[in-house]
Amino acid sequence: MTGQTQTNGTKGLPSGDLGRRIAARRAQLGLTTEETAARAGMAPSYVTHLERHPDAAPGRSALLTLAAALRTTVSELTGGDADVPSGRELAGRSPEFTELSRVECAELLSTHGVGRVAVSTELGPVIVPVNYSVVDDTIVFRTARGATPSLASGSLVAFEVDRVDDTFSQGWSVLARGYAREVTDTDEEHRLAEQAYSAPWPGGRRDMWVRIEPYALTGRRIVV
């Protein structure tokens, strides 16, 4: 995973697990450093310090305050739940379930992230996660030839992305269905490499590009 410069009030790259998690949560909420500090009753310079210094060790009281300001938990901020599956919390009070429009689905799907592609194999359907980007309104990802995601090429597939907020028992999911094909044009491969957000997290040689052209986008959201 490559780092990304924070533009919402933080210059430079976050350092350490805590700093990266604080900056990532800020970005999800669309908050600047100053807005986060105001919510937490902290000095903006202290929030910046936490994001930039891997050796920063705030006390539990500060972590609780910061987690509340960022509408999350101390465990999530510190990475304590990294190996725990999402969705373990109880349902929230009076949840509202809504269907998303195609425009809303496209907006949530856009740019980049980690999604799941469903492909058919000789042993039956398989779903695997991939790092993806959206280029020219199509879903693109890079994989290794012969790997499970490469089986998507030349067939109809399903592709899903989602976001679960355990703290508030809410979230959304978007499902794309479309035809997948291997990108074989060298110039197009170079263009995708330039526009893609990052290299695949698993590393290694993964030089096969696959493009999915969605013919259907559906989604749903749960809000408490």
At 86 the pLDDT is 66
Q: Indicate where the chain has its CATH 2.30.110.10 domain(s).
A: 96-223
Tens-place pLDDT, residues 166-188 = 767 888 999 999 999 999 999 98
Q: What average pLDDT is seen over the chain?
A: 85
pLDDT band at 87 (very low <50, low <70, confident <90, very high): low
Summarize pLDDT for 47-73 with one digit per residue, the tens.
999 988 888 888 888 998 998 899 888
Residue with tokens 């493009």: 211
For 105-156, what is each residue's pLDDT tens digit? 999 999 788 999 999 988 899 999 999 999 999 999 999 999 999 999 999 9
The CATH classification number of 96-223 equals 2.30.110.10
* β-bridge mates for residue 141, sequence order: 132, 210
Q: Alpha helices of the chain — where are they, by DSSP H?
A: 16-29, 33-40, 44-52, 60-69, 74-78, 102-109, 186-195
The confidence score (pLDDT) of residue 90 equals 67
Residue ranges matching CATH 1.10.260.40 in the chain:
16-78
| Residue 195 pLDDT exceeds 90 | no
Structure tokens at 224: 């408490």
Q: Could you tell me which CATH class the domain 16-78 is placed in?
A: mainly alpha
In the structure, what pLDDT confidence band is assigned to residue 100 with cuts at 50, 70 and 90?
very high
pLDDT above 70 covers what percent of the chain?
88
